[in-house]
Amino acid sequence: MSKVGRMTPATLAVLCVLLADPAGEQYGLAICTAAGLKPGTVHPILARFEALGWLVSRWEDIDPKAAARPKRRLYRLSEDGAMLARKAVVASQESARQRTFAPGLAQGGAV
């Protein structure tokens, strides 16, 4: 699994939604709503995490006519993905704390 790259606020929001129920399956629009983000922001993040192996997804097994709605793509964190997501969130929070309390140190300068 390769690195996820820079942790944007949107990326962190999606991770936090997924970590709220790491073994549970969630569909894209529900993740968007919970994260307070638009689908055009969330779906590329989900695709990136799936490509990295942090997420697994599958199509919902329903009859769209009987359910009166289209099938949903369901996402859940992989076991490794849940561990890496937790580490990424903690590292991001620690980095934010360092920038808040020691801005000179976070930028490599003297305080």
Residue 2 has pLDDT above 60, yes or no: no
pLDDT, tens digit, 9 for 90 and up, residues 34-52: 999 999 999 999 999 999 9
pLDDT at 100: 64
Mean pLDDT score, 59-76: 96
The pTM score is 0.80
Domains and CATH numbers, the chain: 9-102 (1.10.10.10)
Contact (Cβ atoms closer than 8 angstroms) between residue 49 and residue 55: yes
Q: How far apart are CA 30 and CA 98, in angstroms?
A: 32
- Three-state SS at 62: coil
